[in-house]
Amino acid sequence: MIVAKFSGYCTTSAHGLTQWDYGQELAIECAELEIPDDTEINYYQGKLSSIAYLKSNHAMIPDIMLQNPEEIIAYVYVRSAASGETILSIKMTVDSRPQPDNYVLPEYKDYSRLLPKGGESGQTLVKASENDYDTEWATMESNLEPLTDEEIDNICV
């Protein structure tokens, strides 16, 4: 976990991230503002972007961004029906290091640390409520017939 401490300014820096780490959490300390739960955190790193939501001033940092030794910028974005406003920004450095031999990239099946516990083969992660972060495993019913090779060829032409 890294901590972003604000003291009278809307921008700060946070240090302590290392390339190839995962499961890292950002904690925000800002005595001047009361930031409600479910406030958006918009993460940017080069062409990558991601959204997370605060819970008790904590949000997870996307693992994919920890694969690059490039600066991550996080914006705390308060949204309402009538307006949206960036209230804080955080620059986070990612210290470079060699890739571990046993590091599993997200595109591989074994990369399960991003998924909630549970679930079985054939189940899909779905929203459990209107909250974006609230998910559950479900079996999706489908009455679709699989496509034949000829149908696939016709689509791809």
Domain with 26 in it: what CATH number?
2.60.40
Q: Answer yes or no: is 56 within a domain.
A: yes
Note whether residue 65 is domain-resident: yes
Residue 121 lies inside a defined structural domain of this protein: no
Q: Which domain holds residue 85?
A: 2-95
Q: What was the pLDDT predicted at 117?
A: 66
Residue 131: its pLDDT value, please?
A: 65
Domain annotation covers residue 135: no
In a domain, 9, yes or no: yes
SS3 129: coil
Q: Look at the chain and report how many structural domains it folds into.
A: 1
Q: Evaluate whether residue 114 is within a structural domain.
A: no
pTM higher than 0.85:
no
Phi, psi of 118 (to 5 degrees): 100, -165
Mean pLDDT for back-to-back runs of 10 residues, the chain (157 residues): 91 95 92 90 93 93 92 94 92 94 67 61 67 68 72 76
44 in a structural domain: yes
Q: What is the pLDDT of residue 58?
A: 95
Q: What is the pLDDT of residue 79?
A: 86
Q: What's the token pair of residue 104?
A: 């599993």
Q: Nearest to residue 86, comparing CAs of 10, 4, 2, 8?
A: 10
Predicted pLDDT of residue 40: 93
Please indicate, yes or no, if residue 57 is contained in any of the structural domains.
yes
Distance CA 74, CA 57 (A): 13
What's the pLDDT tens digit per position in 40-52?
999 999 999 999 9
Give strand pairing partners of 143: none
CA distance 44 to 35: 20
Q: What is the pLDDT of residue 108?
A: 61
